[in-house]
Chains A and B, each alone.
Chain A
Amino acid sequence: MTVLTICYALVFYAATVLLVGGLAWKIADYARTPVPLKIPSTPAPPSTGGVALRMAREVVLFESLFKSSKWIWGLGWLFHVALALVLLRHLRYFTEPVWTVVALAQPFGLYAGFAMIAGLAGLWARRLLVERIRYISTPSDHLMLVLLIAIGVTGLGMKYVSHTDVVAVKAFMLGLMYFDWQPLPADPTLLVHLALVAALMAIFPVSKLLHAPGIFFSPTRNQADDSRERRHLAPWAEKLEKAKP
C-alpha cells in the first residue's frame, strides 16, 4: 500500500464525512427553523400534490429561470442535465455488477462531459461579459466555475488524452466502500481529478451549492395556497395566542 493510496483514501473518507454530515446538518437546520407565515408566491397550487408538481417543474425544468432569462436557463439547464448524466456514468466505478441503467447511460454520459463543459464555459462567459452579472460576482463564484471546469477537463483528459487504468480506479473505489483498500494508480491526471472532486465534496455544505437542498425548503415555492382554509401557526407564535379575545 503506497503513501499515495493511503492519503487519497483518507481524503475521500474525510470529504464524504464533510459532504454527508454537513448536508445532513444543514438540512436538519432548515427543517427545524419555523415558517411563521404563509408566503407562497401566487398563483400557487392549492394542494400538496400541486406543490409537489410545482417543485418538480422547478427542480427538473428550472421553470422560473426559464421565465426569467432564456440564456441563463439554457446554459444552466445544459450544465445540470449533463452533470446528472456524467454522475450516472460514474456510478460504474461504485457498483459491481454495474446496474443496467448505468450501463445504458455510458455513451450519453460521455457526450454529456462535453456538454457540461460547454454549459459551464457559457455561464462563465456571462459572468465575465454581462456587466450586471460581473457586478454581483464574488471571487468564489468564479472559482466554483473554474473548479467544475477543471474536473470536467481532467475527466475528459483521461478518456481522450492520457488513459488511466480504470479497472484499478474501480477497485480503489470499491475498496474504499468496503473498507478493503486497493492501490490507486499514480496517474497525475487522475490524481488532480480526484483531488478536485474531493474538494468539491468538502465545500458543498459551506458554499452556494446549498441551493440544491435549499430549493426544497423555499417557502415561496413549497407552500400551498390554502391560507384561508387551513390555519398555519409557528411554534414560537403560539405563545402569543394566550392574550387573544
Chain B
Amino acid sequence: MAVVEFETPRLKEYPVIPILQAGAMAHSQPFAAAAPIQKALGFPGELVEDWQEQAIAKMGELLGKYRSLKVYLDTCVHCGACSDKCHYFLGTGDPKNMPVARQDLMRKVYRRYFTFTGKYFPKLVGAEDLTREVLAEWYTYFNQCSECRRCSVFCPYGIDTAEITMAAREIMDSIGMGQKYSNEIIGKVHKIGNNLGLPGPALEDTLAGLEEDIKDATGADVKLPLDVQGAEVMLVTPSADFFSEPHVESLIGYAKVFHQAGISWTLSSHASEAGNFGLFIGNYEQMRSISMRVREAALELGVRRIAVGECGHAWRVAYSFWNTLIGPFDFLDQNYPVPQHICEVTYDLIRRGALTLDKAANDHRIVTFHDSCNVARGSSMGNMPRGQFIIPREIIRACVNNFHDMAPESIYESTFCCGGGGGLLTDDLIELRVKGALPRMEALKQVVDEHGVNFMATICAICKAQFGKVLPYYKFDMDMVGGVHQLVSSAIRLGAKQ
C-alpha cells in the first residue's frame, strides 16, 4: 500500500473517453483503520473470523432498511449510460471505475445470495460468491468512489452509485475493514469536537488572532464570537475554515458579512464542525450523532437561526438530512429556512442592499466557479429552482467584474467532483486524487486559455484542500482556488454603511 510513482495525466484539448486499462488502479487502496480507531466507533478492530457470513447478513439487513439499495441492485440493465461519466474512470481508464462496474462488484454478490437467478444460474447473470478476492476488490474500488452522484444524473433509473458505495463501506466497517482516514476523523469529532482535532481553547486563540488580523487590515472591529448565549445566528462551518488556507479567508468573509449587516452571531465550540464523515461511511447512526451536536449547541446557546459555512457534503447533510436526523427545528425562527447556507444569508443581504461591495477590489482576479458535487446534486438554496447554482454565482457577480463559467457539461448538475470527496482526501490516495481531478482540470484549462481565468471559486472545504494539493500537478498555481466568501471578503467595504 505504499504510495507508488505515477504520471500525471496530460490535459487534452477536448475530453476523450479513455480506452479500458484493466487493473490500472488495482493497487490503489487507502490505509486500513487500526483496531483502536475501529473500536472507538463500535466496529470490530480487525477482520472478524466469520466475515463472509456476517457481511452477507449485514447486506441483508441493509437491503431491508434502504429501498435505494434494493431497487438499485435490481434495476440496472447494463445500458452503459453511466460508463463514461465518472471522473475516476475518465482519469484512470480502469474499467472498474465505471459506475456500473463498481456497482456490479456488489451486485454480483447480491445476485448470488439474494436472487433466484444468481442462486441457480450464477454464471448466466454474473453472480459470484463473496470471496476474499472479491472483498479485496470491494476495499479497493469502493474506496475509489467519491459518492459525487454524477453517474446518477445520467442513469435512466437514477441509480445512485453513492448509495451502493455507502452500503459497501458500512458492510466492510461491520466486519472490521474500515478506512483509516474517515474513521479516524469521526473518532476525533466525537472526542474533541471537530475533524481537525482542534480543542476549544485553541479555537478561541485562533479566532482572537483572526480578529486582530482583520483589524490590522481594515481598521474595523470585526468579531468572531464563540459560544455567545442568545446570539441571533449560530454558524456551523467546516473546521478547516479555522486555520487552513484558503479556507480561513472565507471565514473572515462570513465575519465581515455579519458585521456589516449588524447581525449578532456566534460559533460554537461544541459544534465546531460542519463536516460529517458519517455520510461517507454510509452510517446513519454516526451521521445522526455527529449532527446531533448542532442541535444540542443551538438549544444550549438559545440561537434563533442556524447557518452553515462553505462545505459541500456538510451542506447536503444539513439541507437534506438534518430535519430528518435532528429535527424538528420548531425552536428556531421560522421566518428563515432551517438550516440556512451562508450563501443564502449573504445573497439575501446583497439583495436588500445591506452590504457595500466594491467589485474593483477583485479586479486582479478573473474568476470561474466550480460547482461542488454535494451542493449541486444533493441540495438546493433559496426558494427558487436551481438556486444552488444561481446564488453562489450571483454573489460572485456582485463581487467581481470578471467572471466566466467553465464548459456546460462540467458545471451545474453535470459538475465533476474535485477528485477528493467522499472520504478520499488523504495522501495515501494521492494518485487517485490527481487522476480523478483530470476532467475538472481540463475544463479549467479551457477557461484559463480562453479568458485568462486565475481564480476558481468554490464553496466546499474538501474541494479547496483537494485543488490546493492537485493544481500544481497540472502546472497551475495552488493559490488559484478559493472560497466565494473570500471574494466577498475582498470586495466588502467595511464602515461604509453604518
Task: Give the interface of A toward B (CB within 8 A).
Answer: 26, 29-30, 33-39, 41-44, 46, 58, 62, 64-65, 67-69, 72, 76, 126, 130-133, 135-141, 143, 203, 206-208, 210-211, 214-215, 217-221, 225, 227-228, 230-234, 236-237, 240, 244-245
Measured CA separation A220–B126 after assembly (Å): 26
Name the residue on A nearest B326 (C-beta).
A244
Is B71 touching A218 in the complex (CB atoms < 8 A)?
yes
| Other-chain contact of A214, B71, B125, B385, B389 (Cβ < 8 Å) | B71
Interface digits, B107-141 against A, CB 8 Å rule (1 contact, 0 not)? Answer: 00000000111000101111000000000000000
Is A42 touching B117 in the complex (CB atoms < 8 A)?
no
List of B residues within 8 angstroms of A30 by Cβ: 67, 70-71
| Other-chain contact of A62, B68, B116, B156, B414 (Cβ < 8 Å) | B156
Is A206 touching B115 in the complex (CB atoms < 8 A)?
yes
B295 interfacial contact with A, CB 8 Å: yes
Is B385 touching A69 in the complex (CB atoms < 8 A)?
no
Rounded to whole Å, the gap between the CB of A29 and the closest CB of chain B is 7
Instruction: Identify which of B68, B85, B159 gathers the most chain A CB atoms within 10 Å of its CB.
Output: B68
List of B residues within 8 angstroms of A130 by Cβ: 80
List of A residues within 8 angstroms of B72 by Cβ: 218
Q: Given A34-B67, A132-B95, A228-B323, A42 and B379 touching (CB < 8 A)?
A: yes
Q: Given A42-B376, A69-B80, A72-B81, A58 and B101 touching (CB < 8 A)?
A: no
Name the residue on B nearest A126 (C-beta).
B80
List of A residues within 8 angstroms of B326 by Cβ: 244
Name the residue on B nearest A133 (C-beta).
B80
Is A72 touching B79 in the complex (CB atoms < 8 A)?
yes
B84 interfacial contact with A, CB 8 Å: yes
B320 interfacial contact with A, CB 8 Å: yes
List of A residues within 8 angstroms of B323 by Cβ: 227-228, 230-232
List of B residues within 8 angstroms of A208 by Cβ: 74-78
Interface of B is mostly: helix
Task: Give the interface of B toward A (CB within 8 A).
Answer: 17, 19-20, 63-68, 70-72, 74-85, 95, 98, 100-101, 104, 115-117, 121, 123-126, 149, 152-160, 163, 284-285, 288, 292, 295-296, 299, 319-321, 323-324, 326-328, 337-339, 376-380, 385-386, 388-389, 413-414
Measured CA separation A64–B117 after assembly (Å): 29
Question: What are 5 A-B residue pairs whose CB atoms fall within 8 Å in the complex?
Answer: A42-B378, A76-B79, A208-B76, A228-B338, A240-B288
List of A residues within 8 angstroms of B327 by Cβ: 231
Measured CA separation A209–B158 after assembly (Å): 16
List of B residues within 8 angstroms of A233 by Cβ: 324
Q: Please give me the 8 A-B residue pairs with the lowest Cβ-Cβ distance, nearest first.
A: A214-B75, A68-B154, A138-B126, A220-B158, A68-B81, A221-B158, A133-B80, A33-B67
Is B152 touching A41 in the complex (CB atoms < 8 A)?
yes
Name the residue on B nearest A220 (C-beta).
B158
Is A132 touching B80 in the complex (CB atoms < 8 A)?
yes
A29-B70, A67-B153, A206-B115 known, 16 other contacts, Cβ within 8 Å: A30-B67, A33-B66, A62-B156, A64-B81, A65-B81, A68-B82, A132-B80, A133-B78, A136-B95, A136-B101, A140-B117, A141-B77, A210-B74, A211-B157, A217-B67, A233-B324
Is B320 touching A39 in the complex (CB atoms < 8 A)?
yes
Name the residue on B nearest A209 (C-beta).
B77
| Other-chain contact of B385, A36, A43, A237 (Cβ < 8 Å) | A43
Measured CA separation A221–B75 after assembly (Å): 14
Rounded to whole Å, the gap between the CB of B182 and the closest CB of chain A is 18
Measured CA separation A3–B413 after assembly (Å): 60
List of A residues within 8 angstroms of B163 by Cβ: 39
Rounded to whole Å, the gap between the CB of A213 and the closest CB of chain B is 9
Measured CA separation A86–B126 after assembly (Å): 31
Is B295 touching A227 in the complex (CB atoms < 8 A)?
no
Name the residue on A nearest B22 (C-beta).
A135
List of A residues within 8 angstroms of B77 by Cβ: 141, 208, 211
Rounded to whole Å, the gap between the CB of A197 and the closest CB of chain B is 19
Rounded to whole Å, the gap between the CB of A23 and the closest CB of chain B is 12
List of B residues within 8 angstroms of A230 by Cβ: 323
Rounded to whole Å, the gap between the CB of B171 and the closest CB of chain A is 16
Is A37 touching B160 in the complex (CB atoms < 8 A)?
no
Rounded to whole Å, the gap between the CB of A200 and the closest CB of chain B is 14
Is A245 touching B295 in the complex (CB atoms < 8 A)?
yes
Is A58 touching B156 in the complex (CB atoms < 8 A)?
yes
Measured CA separation A141–B72 after assembly (Å): 17
List of B residues within 8 angstroms of A135 by Cβ: 20, 95, 98, 101
Name the residue on B nearest A66 (C-beta).
B156
Rounded to whole Å, the gap between the CB of B66 and the closest CB of chain A is 7
